[in-house]
Each structure stands twice: as C-alpha cells, then as structure tokens.
Amino acid sequence: MASSNACLLVILFLSCWASIGDAEYLKYKDPKQPLGVRIKDLMKRMTLAEKIGQMTQIERKVASPQVMKDYFIGSVLSGGGSVPAPQASAEVWVNMVNDFQKGALSTRLGIPMLYGIDAIHGHNNVYNATIFPHNIGLGATRDPDLVKRIGAATALEVRATGIPYTFAPCIAVCRDPRWGRCFESYSEDHKIVQAMTEIIPGLQGDFPANYRKGTPYVSGRDKVAACAKHFVGDGGTQKGINENNTVLSRPGLLSIHMPAYYNSIAKGVSTIMVSYSSWNGVKMHANQDMITGFLKNTLHFKGFVISDWQGIDRITSPPGANYTYSIQAGVNAGIDMVMIPFDYTPFISDLTTLVNSNIVPLSRIDDAVRRILRVKFSMGLFENPLADLSLVDQLGKKEHRELAREAVRKSLVLLKNGKSAHEQVLPLPKKAQNILVAGIHADNLGYQCGGWTIEWQGASGRITVGTTILDAIKLAVDPSTKVTYSENPDFTFAKTSKFSYAIVVVGEPPYSETAGDSLNLTILEPGSTIIHNVCRAVKCVVVIISGRPVLMEPHIEVIDALVAAWLPGSEGQGVADVLFGDYGFTGKLPRTWFKSVDQLPMNVGDRYYDPLFPFGFGLTTEAHI
C-alpha cells in the first residue's frame, strides 16, 4: 500500500511538473521567436489595464516600485534637472532606475519599463557628464561623422547611468532666431538638418544590411533608443514664439520641416515626439491627419509616437480645461505613449472609460501597445531589463571630452578678422607680455553650456565638471605670458594697463524653450558696455556665446575680430585651440546672421536677403605649423 501511494505521488509530481513546464513556456519571453510572434503572444495575454499602463509615462518624482507594479507603468522619465540626488554618481542613477524596473518586472507579465531622459548635448542632466556643443554649433561643423561619434559617446554615458532611451535628436528647422529653442536646431537649411540625422545611428547603432528600413533598431547594451522631435513644424512658428502656430502650405511644411523625418525613419529611429506647436491652427498633438495619416500610414513609421511633457493637456486653451477630451483627441490622433508626467491616475481612469465607451477604439490602444512593445523587444529590454555597473567609467571620460573639444574647434565661426585684410588678428600669439580676458561669460561654465545643462533652464557658475574659456586661455598661452582677468573692466583700466591684446567673452544667458523667446536678440548686459570699453582701448577679439545670431551691428565697427562660439559646452579648450592657432577656423554659419531684428524672419533664399553675415559664411585661418 505504501509502495503504491509512493508511485501515485511520483506520477502526480511528474504530471504537475510537466504542466508547470508547459505553462512556463511563454513565447514572448523567448528571444529565438520572431519579433512579431513575441508581440502577438504578449498582447493576447494583456488586460486593458496592462495595455493602458504601457502607454503611460510618469516622472521619476512620482514613481516607485509599488506604483510601477500597481499601475503597470510602461515608462518613467527624468524631466530637465530631475535627478536622484545633487551631483549623483552613475551608481546612484543605476540603482534608482533598477528599483523602478524591479517594480515593473514584479507584475503578472513582467513587462520591463523604459526609462527616458533628455540627453540632448551629451548626458546633460548628469553631473560630470561630457557636455557637447548644442546643435546649432554642430550645424556649423558641417560634419555628420563627428555628430555620429558624438551620438555614440552620448549613448555610452547615458547607458553608464542605467538609462536606455534619450529624447534626442531635435531635428527642428529653425526659421526664426527669436525662437527660444533655436539652439536645439542644427540649421535653417533642412539639408544640413538631414545630414545631421547621422547622430541617430550614433545613438542606436548601425543596423545590419538585411534589416528592414523604417523599423526601430538598437544594436546593443551600449546603445540607446533615440527620439526624433518635434513632429512637425516646431521651428516655423510665427515670430519664433515657442509652441505657437506655423502658418504654411502643405508643400511648404513637407519641403522644409519634414525631410529630416524621412532620414530619421530610414535610419531606424525608435520613437518620434510630437510638437507643442500648431500647423495652420490645428494642434499637432491632435492632428490625426499628420500623425496617423502621414507619419504612420504614408511614411510607414513602425516605432512609437510619444507626446511632449503635458503635451495633451495643451490641446485645450487653457491647458487641462477639458482633460478627458484632450486624452481622446491625442490618443485618437495617434499618440502611443503619453508623457503625463505627474498626475497619472486621471489619465489612466479617463482613458479606460473612453475605451469602454467605444470613444477610443480598442484597435487604437492595440496599435499603441504593439508599437511600444516593438521598441522594447527590438532594443533587447526583455532580455536585459536591469542595468549593471559595467559602464560607469564611461561618464565624462577623457576620450569623450577630447571628442567634445574637437567639436568645439570645428563649430567656431570666424566672422571678422582684422579691420582690414592686411591687419589680421587671429590666430593670436601665445607669447605676450600681458593679455586681458574680460566678459561675464569668460569664466562661467554654466553660461558656456547654455540651457538644458544640469537644470532645465541651465544655470550660472561651476555647475558641472569642465574647462571654462578663461581656464583654457591660461593653459594655452606661454608660461611667461601674464593673463589678467577682469569681468567688467572700465575704459581707463583697459587703456592704461598696456595689454598686448584682449579677449572679450560675452553673450546670452542660459535659457530653454519659452523663457528663451526674444524679440530683441541682444546680448546680456553689461556685455555691450564691456565690448565698447575694451575694444576702444586695445586690440580685441570678441567671442560670442549664444544659442543663435544676436544683434551685433552696433558693435561691429569697434571689434577687431569676432568669433561665434555658440554654446560650446564643457570643453572650453576647444575655443583656445583655435584662437591661438593650434587649429584653423573652419566653421560655417548654419544660419543667417541678421543686421536688425526688423528683418526677421530672414532665411537664405528669401527674396529680400540683406544679412550682416550670410548663411554659410565663415572666414578660415591656417593652423600654426
């Protein structure tokens, strides 16, 4: 009897084990299965709550492992300046991201979450990261290979902190420098913007020869998913007002603002972000014709479409006036993932009601989730959901700083070199008795980096690790040369101190988005005063730190040499490299430099084109041998 009972127990155990084995084989978890099979298998197992959770992206400040589990949250982000701790190390970032991920993995289906961040000129939220020149400076380089290498370096630094997704690149075509995001645009010319989409294979990796073009692709754990933004026409708004209306014919929109999206999709960009702006009065976040009709159906984009920060709220005026309608309009337009970022429960509740009421079709939800899962599967997130510490040494590493320094050198545009062809000032001699360095931007790393650096709006001072232009000048000159720094010298001091020459570094304060909108485009005071005090007293080189062309005509006559340095980032040595002739000037204007703001908007090819310096202008110098 005991023997037969034992046999029965063995048989029961074996049959249970076999059934557990069968239950445990989940096609979606098998990397050997085709992508389409994995997506289909997972989706048939998902409830509506799990699907809507995948469409929800929340800010890290409201995220927790429990929230991830309870609401099946599909994505978390860091907004500008949102960090786990001031000056947090890569290890602290990795641990935070993994904590959220463990919450997502503890759900019934274990779908990993996707963490995103604005790494738009390097990993700019993170202390000690390499800060590259902003896009306007990269446009001046005319060097797509350089931009691809910057993408690869940025991917490594982002992965060093455990993050697999960046909201970059911005492929806006800025048509009016009064726009506060103009520095995020490579050029007023869509051909340059198209060329600079080489940053996408830098970020994501080169897809293999047999890969289907237009399908999202991330090649490995040292690469990140990219995001082309902001779809579409964000750089063409009236008077350059951020989030304003772009008034343009359909052929105009497609010929100026759309071409870079063709390149981005062909290069396998994983995601595309919708613009806050409107086109001919229709909010892009509610534009079904452009998002579903053109982007998805005509261009066959297979990745997912993400909203901007509280973007659906702004479908109504004032924002959030009818949130349920905004969800309906945005999701039905074709937005797949919604950047909430804070108050996520009303979104989840309202979208659930809209689906159950057949106002938002379940087919639209399924399309969104299918696209999100396609990106997550294609980037290997299911196989490697947790970050490790193997890449922490990539953050701010020497090779990346050298690359940034190279980018600074190539981005500088020489606009004037001497008051006549026979009086060239640049390159400057390294050996001189006493030189003056002046200006509020000369020794200010935060001003040098601009907006979207450590804080959303940027900040003043030694905000991260880097080399200011003053630091760089001191390193570049001969040991016998005395460097006198005076932030705001008066005329008498400049005149009587017997300086061999002066370098004046002035420009714009840091800003981002609407805070950067400007109707006058003047430099930050006392910048104008400093130029006139110094340049009337001593031979001077003026270096302009700005996110766009600024008003220079009142000052141009007193300046001996003028350099547009844009927003060069953390490696100020790149500026000194070229000023002192270790390398020659090669940069070309990526946008027209106006004489007066009354001329704006003014772009190359316009009928009435009378610039101070035309698009493509840039004097060259030879390096000292």
- CB-based contacts of 548: which residues, under 8 Å, 6+ apart? 136, 174, 177, 182, 183, 521, 591
Tell me whether residue 508 is one of the annotated catalytic residues.
Answer: no
Which residue, among 330, 247, 245, 266, has the nearest Cα to 292 in the 3D structure?
330
* Number of residues written out for the chain: 625
End-to-end distance of the chain based on CA atoms, in angstroms? 99
Q: Return the SS3 of 593.
A: strand
Which residue, among 581, 582, 589, 584, has the nearest Cα to 611 in the 3D structure?
589
Instruction: Provide φ and ψ at 192, rounded to 5°.
Output: -70, -40
Say which of 184, 243, 350, 513 is annotated catalytic: 513
Instruction: State how far the Cα of 126 lies from the Cα of 562, in Å rounded to an integer.
Output: 32
Instruction: Provide φ and ψ at 58, rounded to 5°.
Output: -120, 160
Contact between residue 467 and residue 93 where contact means Cβ atoms under 8 Å apart: no
- CB-based contacts of 50: which residues, under 8 Å, 6+ apart? 72, 107, 108, 109, 111
Q: Which residues of 236-249 are buried (b: 16+ CB within 10 A; e: fewer)?
A: bbeebbbbbbbebe
CA distances from 577 to 9, 568, 580, 609 (A): 80, 13, 6, 34
Tell me whether residue 513 is one of the annotated catalytic residues.
Answer: yes
Instruction: State how far the Cα of 332 lies from the Cα of 109, in Å rounded to an integer.
Output: 26
One-letter amino acid of 443: D
Say which of 184, 308, 336, 508 is annotated catalytic: 308
Tell me the two tokens of residue 84.
């786990």
Q: What amino acid positions are annotated as catalytic residues?
A: 308, 513
